[in-house]
Chain A
Amino acid sequence: MPKNLIEPAKSSRLTVLRRIIQLGMLTLLGQWSYYGIFRCPFPVPYVSCTNCPVIACPGASATFFWGTWLAIPLSVIVFGRAFCGWACPGGLVVQLTGMLAPFKVRVKNMVNAVAPSGKYLGLMAGLYLWLVLENPRWMVPIRVGEFWNSLTLSFEHAGTLWLVRTFLVFAFVVLGFGLANVWCRYACPTGGLLEVLKRFSWFRVYKTEACNDCNKCLAVCEMGTRPAEVNCTNCGDCLKSCPVQAIAVGRKR
């Protein structure tokens, strides 16, 4: 094995470890995800927390806000889109629903070649709303409240655009029951941002020159991709799938 490679763990153990970490991150960040989708009055959540009136949201009380969220893009520099595969609470939900989906789309075709660009459309829309339109409030914020009351009141007093944005996210989650990981693969704006930055990552899961394009790795990948290609989240599920040991983890030189 070349010096720059890290000895890969057994894939099954790694997957169990990943699920444990994902569950831990769900406990830690799940509440923020809930507020971001259902209670945040802004179209782009997590970027206007410092002037948000929703005092029950953990984002409002986190004075280390920018440090927290800068940690995600910074994590890309170390290990690519590992946040998507190992830490994102939404990612866990999408991956679990994806297990039930009849259409995994783990093949090389036009859909998988073009549709991942949808993430960049989502990213551009998010950046436009945030930086150009200054993230306008699209709903009446429920500052503090009971779980169900706040949820119903949020929807009741939301503007049409907020409803469209929220139902769009919800529709992708539902669509994920049919088409595996559709949100993470084709629509997530955060995933789009991390995808752009991951080319600078120090460490990654990648194919060596021994790769014979058998696509066994593609067949086991939740994201329907191959190591280091578009949508690879460095989850490591493919590490044991290669019949010629052409998948490695580490710094690709």
Chain B
Amino acid sequence: MRSNAAARSPLLIGTGGDSLREAFGRALVELAERYPRFVVFDADVAGGTGTHHFRRAYPERFFQFGIAEQNMLAAAAGFATTGLTPIVTTFAVFALRALEQIRLSIAYPGLDVKIVASHPGLDVGPDGASAQALEDLAAFRAIPQMTVISPADPFEVRLATEAILRHKGPVYMRTGRSPARAVFAGADRPLAEYPRSFEIGRGCVLRRGGDVTIVACGVEVARALDAAEILEGEGINATVVDMATLKPLDRSLLLECAERTGCFVTAEDHNVMGGLGGAVAEALTEAHPCPVEFIGVRDTFGQSGEPADLAEAYGLTGPFIAAAARRAIARKRGV
């Protein structure tokens, strides 16, 4: 019997289209020549993190560690001491598995290791709670010397990938599994032509309005823009901030927004505890106390389902953000 390889090879899910992880993998290939000191570490999930693009183009700069994240992360620390920059890629839950290695071996001596994790949040979808990291932003924020980034769309992921290569020191960056909506224009152009550069520690104002500020990261940025549209129809003007860097947080931008709008909504595909909402609340409580409403998963585990259905079920979509904005405005007015 003749074998038919094409017919037998399975259809891989999510490796096409404009997911953040695919954008990340393609960006690595684009950046490889200009940044010859970085290599990629993988723990048997190259197909899932986007790094399969890099493995194909630069096999000598791709290190396979097998399914062994603890060893991979601590090895990345040793590798970095030789003057090279390992970009360690895995799923966000498996980065959590090696959290202590990241804390002691990488962050404590401040080594130049970049941890880039795909499959964060409910955006993971049908794989269910075991694969949906809703705790990573909180955990990584709590580690001293760690920079924490969660870009909004494929365009921003590509810019952020170059930014973390230019930055010295440990970084944790989230990508995303599912096809993502574009927030920024021009994602189909080659990297060098992008008009805007990504600056670590600077939020990006996508819309300006005086009634409320919505601060979002990751997939929630597109949904925050949906909410702003809904609110505009009601005569409410929202400022929307893409806060891609959770740490160090852009406190001066938050203060400026606090003075202009006087109330906030935070939105993230993450537990409401300790992530973006926590970061914003900490900063505002200290510098400019005002009402803050939190959109995120309310301290519970996720479950299987399509990402859009999960976002609806757990209250992460535009209408939920808009409702939170109305609550924040009412609190501001003392209603």
Do A and B actually bind?
Answer: no
Q: Which residues of B contact A (CB under 8 A)?
A: none
